[in-house]
Structures are given as C-alpha cells and as structure tokens.
Amino acid sequence: MLYPLPAVMVSCGDEPSNYNILTIAWTGTVCSDPPMCYISVRKQRHSYDIIRRCGEFVINLTTEELVRATDWCGVKSGRECNKFKEMHLTPQAAQCVKAPLIAESPLNIECKVVDIRELGTHDMFLANVVAIDAEEGLIDRSTGTFQLNHAHPLAYSHGKYYALGAKLGSFGFSVKKRR
C-alpha cells in the first residue's frame, strides 16, 4: 500500500523495428552511488523479452500532457501495434543505450540492466543509470537541479492518475532553526 507511485513510460528495443513502450508504476531509485534504479515487469508483457534480450531500457517521466499516452501504452500490447506511431510519440536516439528516448518526455533515464530478480508476478530489472536527458528549460541554471514542479508529472494510485500538488517543504526544513 505504498501509494502514490510514479507513472512512467519505459521505452525499449535496439532498432526501430522492435521499439516498444510500456507503462510502469513499479519503479524507483535503489542507490545514489552508483546511480541505480529498477523496473518490475510481468513476464507476459511484450517488452519483457525485449528488455531481457537487449539488457537496457529508458525510463521516461510522464506529465499531465502525456496522461492519455501513458494509459494507452499501459493497456495496449506492442505485439499488436506500434505505440510510438499510434500515440504520435517521437523515438529519439539516446546517449548511451540503443533503446530510444521518448522525445515528448521532459526527463529520460537511460539504464543498463545488471540483474534480473524473479519475484513472483513481476521480475525486477535492476539497472545502472548510464545517462540522464532532461529538457533544458526544466533545469535551474543556478543550482543545476531538475525542477520537477515545472514538469507537471503524473502519479498513480489504485488505478487512477493524479497530478502532483504543491510543494510542502524541503529536505531538512523540520529541523532548521527559526530566526
């Protein structure tokens, strides 16, 4: 019951003929040094075999503008359609992996699989983060940080998509001395 979750689109494939997108909610950061993340995928999903064979994928942040494509790519199978074409999404060359980025996504996390853990209904693909591609306008020039609030990301909870709300505080705010 750890909700809400990020709703991301994961792109995979090593050439245009097998590019695919799947929607994932079981994803997250597992380590900061070295940077690592994971996705959990059902073996029955079309992308499962592509990711297992290629050993790489891209996590693409979803936004309010991408909510329809996010949902559609989660319920349709890449065995039966070209999701990039059907949702008018643009596959873009990545820096370090053969899997494409989704150009419409404001943040793309390029990943190389280091381990696959069989967990039950899903297998977890544990991966090194090898590159991050961010929309330049969302990077704060003074701090170099990604401005998540300006990206309007989606969250997922119990079968529903939500927009994220207002900032409530910053790390350490609860212990800062008041002046």
CATH code of the domain covering residue 97? 2.30.110.10
pTM of the model: 0.92
* pLDDT tens-digit readout, 157-176: 888 898 887 777 888 888 88
Q: In this predicted model, what pLDDT tens digit does every residue of 99-118 receive, in sequence order? A: 999 999 999 999 999 999 99
Count of structural domains, the chain: 1
**Rounded to 5 degrees, what are φ and ψ at 162?**
-135, 150
Q: Cα(107)–Cα(85) distance, rounded to whole angstroms?
A: 20
Owning domain of residue 169: 5-175
